[in-house]
Amino acid sequence: MIPSSRDDAFALDRKDPLARLREQFDLPQEIIYLNGNSLGPPPRRALRRLRETAETEWRHGLIRSWNDAGWMDLPKKCGEKIAPLIGADPQDVLVADSVSVNIFKLAAALCKKCAGAIAYHADEFPTDGYILQGLSHLTNTPLHRLLPDADQHALSDDVSVLIKSIVHYKTAAVADIAAWEDAAAQKNIAIIWDLSHAAGVISVDLKKHGARFAVGCGYKFINGGPGAPAFVYVDHEAAKDLRQPLSGWMGHAAPFQFAEAYAPADGVSRFACGTPPILSLSALDTALDVFADAPISEIEGKAKKMGDIFLALSADLGLENISPPPSERRGGHVSLKFSHGYEVMQALIARGVIGDFRAPDIMRFGFSPLYLSYADIWDAAEILSDVLRSEEWRKAEYAIRGKVT
């Protein structure tokens, strides 16, 4: 299964049912893009849609486009397209705001309903912890910081809300949703799942496992564009008695009645707040159509295979793999530790292999199956090997840090 030559990698590509999707993406020829876990590249049709939304709907349709071009429906329409990727009912997903803001709205609504502590793992993506810290400060809710490796048995009885990633942003380890939800049900804990690194690359069955609350990114594996709005999932039964604190007019049952009193819309729609970003939403709406041609189970299978191949090809380079081994389930990226990981990543980027770096010493390589080939993986591993063996990364320019790593 691990190619032993570039020709072997091409042979895998010839048999790959997803290979046909690559032409749907507008990626520069000379680049091997291993960063779809941070920012997905543009599907060609999303670029066309952006142009059309700006030049026709905005320029000519003007205000009329809120009705005529269906702008008002885009947050729900995008949610309906995300639902099958995460195993949710279509009416339970809404696109709105950022992941951070959605965590705040959900955690605050849940906190209000079931008094108790809020909890997160210490190594969770920072914004998840920061938002809970802010909420705890605002409401005096006790905050529990769990050890990175704490499992579901570590949840104490006073916890009422837990935030947890399905795919860990550093290691790409995949959480056992069923086991966590079972433990949470016994202790009456609401889990908010962060699907940022899972949606669009691994198959997730929220409803089947009893998960009722989730948030996730639109700009990573879903390819919705830089700063694309996020999604929020709330089971419709659970939504009934939740009142979210950012009760803006777009989450009102009838925003254009301009009533003085707030009355929440049904279901997840009450998690909307202000006017939706239409340019971003239209790109996201069209980007999601790529998934209509690609079953998520096939996507996960190819991502795993590419990760396994990359790990095998770079096994003897002196890097420490902190991602799950081939025998375990993994998200769409792998992470390799190296003391000069930042410099190595800059040298790779200069050679056209784009991944990213997470302090203090982690190089992340994302394997989106929609536009990457096995030959890309072969070439990327060769270039990584070359950069390390030649010590090209020692050039002074590669130590200069940008704002975004």
Q: Which residues are catalytic?
A: 125, 194, 219-220, 364
Name the segment binding ligand PLP (CB under 6 A); options: 83-91, 110-118, 123-131, 239-247: 123-131
Strands 117-121, 159-165: pairing kind: parallel
Among 214, 217, 232, 242, the residue binding ligand PLP under the rule CB under 6 A is 217
Minimum distance from residue 99 beta carbon to ligand PLP (Å): 3
Least distance to ligand PLP from the beta carbon of 197, Å?
6
How far is it, in rounded angstroms, from Cα 151 to Cα 168?
Answer: 14
* 97-to-70, 101, 116, 120, 275 alpha-carbon distances in Å: 19, 6, 26, 21, 10
Closer residue to ligand PLP in complex, CB, 95/309: 95
**If binding is defined by CB under 6 A, does position 133 make contact with ligand PLP?**
no
CB closer to ligand PLP out of 343 and 356? 356
Q: Specify the residue, 128 or 343, whose C-beta has the smaller distance to ligand PLP.
A: 128
In Å, how far are 13, 21, 135, 174, 360 from 200, measured between CA atoms? 21, 14, 29, 14, 27
Smallest distance from the beta carbon of 7 to ligand PLP, in angstroms?
36
Q: Which amino acid is at 47?
A: L
Q: Which residues pair with 162 in a beta bridge?
A: 119, 191
Shortest Cβ 217–ligand PLP spacing (Å):
6
Q: Are 365 and 380 in contact (CB under 8 A)?
A: yes
Nearer to ligand PLP, 138 or 185 (CB): 138
How far is Cα 72 from Cα 269, in angstroms, rounded to an integer? 12
What does the per-residue mask of binding to ligand PLP show for 362-381, with x meaning CB under 6 A?
Answer: --------------------
The CB-of-35 to ligand PLP minimum distance in angstroms stands at 11
Residues 73 to 102 in contact with ligand PLP, rule: CB under 6 A: 98-100
Amino acid at 133: Q
- AA identity, residue 347: A
List the one residue out of 322, 318, 326, 316 whose CA is nearest residue 365.
Answer: 322
Out of 58, 73, 127, 326, which residue is the one contacting ligand PLP (CB under 6 A)?
Answer: 127
Find residue 121's DSSP bridge partners: 146
Only segment of 139-147, 191-199, 278-286, 379-387 that touches ligand PLP (CB under 6 A): 191-199
Closer residue to ligand PLP (CB): 127 or 203:
127
Distance separating alpha carbons of residues 198 and 205, to the nearest angstrom: 11
The residue (of 3 and 200) whose beta carbon lies closer to ligand PLP is 200
Report, in Å, the least distance between residue 55 CB and ligand PLP: 28
| Member of 92, 194, 300, 376 binding ligand PLP (CB under 6 A) | 194
197 near ligand PLP, rule: CB under 6 A: yes
* Using rule CB under 6 A, residue 201 touches ligand PLP: no
Closest CB to ligand PLP among residues 197, 212 = 197
Considering only residues 160-179, where is the footprint of ligand PLP by CB under 6 A? 165, 169
Minimal distance in Å, beta carbon 200 to ligand PLP? Answer: 13
* Chosen residue from 24, 35, 141, 196 binding ligand PLP by CB under 6 A: 196
230 near ligand PLP, judged by CB under 6 A = yes
Report the nearest approach of ligand PLP to the CB of residue 67 (Å). 29
**Identity of the residue, 82 or 313, whose beta carbon is nearer to ligand PLP in the bound complex:** 82
Q: DSSP readout, 159-228?
A: EEEEEEESB-TTT-BB--HHHHHHHHHHHT-EEEEE-TTTTTTS---TTTTT--EEEE-SSSTT---TT-
Residue among 369, 354, 385, 355 nearest 306 (CA)? 369
d(CA 380, CA 32): 7
Q: Which of 120, 125, 367, 393 binds ligand PLP (CB under 6 A)?
A: 125
**Count of residues of this chain found to bind ligand PLP when the rule CB under 6 A is applied:** 13
Among residues 384, 385, 351, which one has the least CA distance to residue 365? 384
163, amino acid identity:
I
Enter the tokens of residue 346: 């800059």
Contact between 132 and ligand PLP per CB under 6 A:
no
Question: What CA–CA distance (Å, rounded) separates 196 from 36?
Answer: 12
Q: Report the alpha-carbon distance of residue 229 to residue 89 in Å, rounded.
A: 20
- Contact residues: ligand PLP, CB under 6 A: 98-100, 125, 127-128, 165, 169, 194, 196-197, 217, 230
